[in-house]
């Protein structure tokens, strides 16, 4: 089973990290933290291990990079309770339980430092320009969040929330069922990331974990109220859940997966559209008062237009940042011992396979 998530988000407050959620020190066995700068082979190292494990029939949860969604920032192997993660900025990880659980892997040893030294000024200049682009992107995201919050605020009152909660109670009665042993666990993952390609949502993960999908209309943020009640009911019933926050506001929930029930709740809005098969379609937007919606129609149109312009500027700025980072990596790549990187990955792969 192949699953794909993000553990970081480009959010209005800056880079938002869920990397501390990758492993549970009470139940997992090992976390390997990769260290190394641009172009040192961290993603290649992870991809090599992933392919080898999947070829051997093992499931691997893949954590993708928000700066480049085709790259990997971490992997988790459920059968071995083992994870590997890029521990460099912006998602810095340091060992909490060194040696007994956590270990470093230093890919920086494969740099030819003497050959790289002449590029010092160029690397510094490009890195600062790259960081400036991200600062601008986060400023635009903060403005966008204000606009979209302004859109929903006058439309969602306590009566609307009560109507959503009433509908949710019916779903809980129908889907959650009897109490199991113990309390269920919540695992937090981002299903969506805002990247240089725009919004990227890994709905393929939904298809991998659930065949029954509730599709929630969510242009006014009502899915959060439904998902909050659903996840509480599910975990109280002893079910483990994957809860997916919004990258625009990580305190707000967008999607919920309950693998043991073969069940998922996914939401769509102006930016993210679920097009897969739906077991049920819940039109949450229709719960907003029609007269109130009519009275604010002009304001909604204006807010949506401004929001789209701001997000377009974010994507443009992230694209510029990506181009700069690619240039930095191009300086490093020729001066990396790639044979050494792949050989070390193979050592780890064989050690993992030896545990099966």
For the stretch 60-112, pLDDT in tens is 999 999 999 999 999 999 999 999 999 999 999 999 999 999 999 999 999 99
Helix, strand, coil shares, percent, the chain, to 5: 50, 25, 30
> pLDDT band at 187, cuts 50/70/90?
very high
Same domain? For 206 and 241 the reply is yes
Same domain? For 163 and 284 the reply is yes
DSSP state of 89: T
Same domain? For 277 and 264 the reply is yes
pTM above 0.85, yes or no: yes
Same domain? For 218 and 191 the reply is yes
What value, to the nearest 5°, has the Cα angle with vertex 244 and ends 153 and 132? 75
Share of the chain above pLDDT 70, in %: 100
Same domain? For 254 and 300 the reply is no
Query: Residue 351, SS3?
Result: helix
> pLDDT band at 297, cuts 50/70/90?
confident
In terms of DSSP bridges, do strands 212-217 and 263-268 run parallel, antiparallel, or are they unpaired? Answer: parallel
275 — alpha (psi -120 to 50), left (phi > 0) or beta?
alpha
pLDDT at 130 over 90: yes
* Structural tokens at position 148: 């979209």
Same domain? For 185 and 199 the reply is yes
Q: What is the mean pLDDT of residues 47-54?
A: 98
Same domain? For 104 and 124 the reply is no
Lateral strand order in the sheet of 72-77: 2-6, 60-64, 72-77, 82-86, 30-35, 102-106
Q: Which residue range(s) make up the domain with 307?
A: 118-148+296-329
Domain count, the chain: 3
82 C-beta neighbours (distance < 10 Å), count: 21
Q: What is the mean pLDDT of residues 201-228?
A: 96
Same domain? For 136 and 255 the reply is no
223 — alpha (psi -120 to 50), left (phi > 0) or beta?
alpha
Same domain? For 290 and 260 the reply is yes
pLDDT for residue 111: 97
Q: Are the CB atoms for 139 and 311 separated by under 8 Å?
A: no
Same domain? For 135 and 100 the reply is no
Same domain? For 138 and 162 the reply is no
Same domain? For 199 and 321 the reply is no
């Amino acid at each position: 089973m192949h699953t794909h998530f993000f553990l970081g988000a480009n959010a209005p407050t800056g880079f938002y990290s869920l990397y501390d959620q990758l492993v549970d020190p009470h139940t997992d066995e090992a976390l390997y933290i990769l260290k190394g700068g641009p172009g040192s082979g961290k993603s290649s190292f992870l991809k090599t291990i992933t392919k080898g494990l999947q070829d051997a029939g093992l499931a691997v949860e893949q954590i993708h990079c928000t700066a480049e969604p085709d790259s990997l920032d971490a992997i988790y192997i459920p059968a071995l309770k083992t994870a590997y993660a890029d521990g460099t900025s912006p998602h810095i990880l340091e060992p909490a339980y060194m040696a007994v659980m956590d270990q470093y892997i230093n890919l920086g040893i494969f740099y030819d430092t003497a050959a790289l030294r002449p590029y010092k000024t160029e690397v510094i200049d490009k890195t600062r320009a790259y960081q400036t682009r991200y600062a601008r992107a986060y400023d635009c995201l903060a403005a966008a969040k204000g606009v979209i919050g302004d859109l929903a605020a006058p439309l969602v009152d306590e009566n609307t929330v009560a109507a959503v909660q009433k509908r949710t109670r019916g779903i809980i009665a129908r889907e959650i069922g009897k109490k199991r042993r113990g309390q269920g666990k919540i695992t937090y993952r981002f299903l969506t990331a805002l990247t240089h390609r725009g919004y990227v949502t890994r709905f393929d993960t939904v298809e991998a974990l659930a065949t029954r999908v509730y599709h929630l209309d969510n242009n006014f943020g009502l899915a959060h109220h439904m998902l909050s009640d659903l996840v509480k009911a599910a975990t109280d019933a002893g079910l483990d859940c994957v809860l997916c926050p919004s990258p625009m506001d990580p305190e707000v929930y967008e999607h919920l997966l309950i693998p043991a029930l073969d069940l998922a709740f996914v939401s769509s809005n102006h930016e993210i559209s679920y097009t897969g098969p739906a077991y049920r379609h819940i039109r949450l937007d229709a719960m907003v008062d029609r007269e109130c919606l009519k009275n604010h129609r002009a304001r909604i149109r204006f807010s949506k237009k401004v929001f789209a312009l701001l997000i377009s500027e974010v994507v443009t700025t992230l694209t510029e940042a990506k181009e700069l980072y690619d240039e930095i990596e191009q300086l490093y790549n020729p001066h990396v011992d790639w044979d050494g990187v792949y050989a070390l990955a193979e050592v780890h792969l064989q050690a993992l396979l030896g545990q099966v």
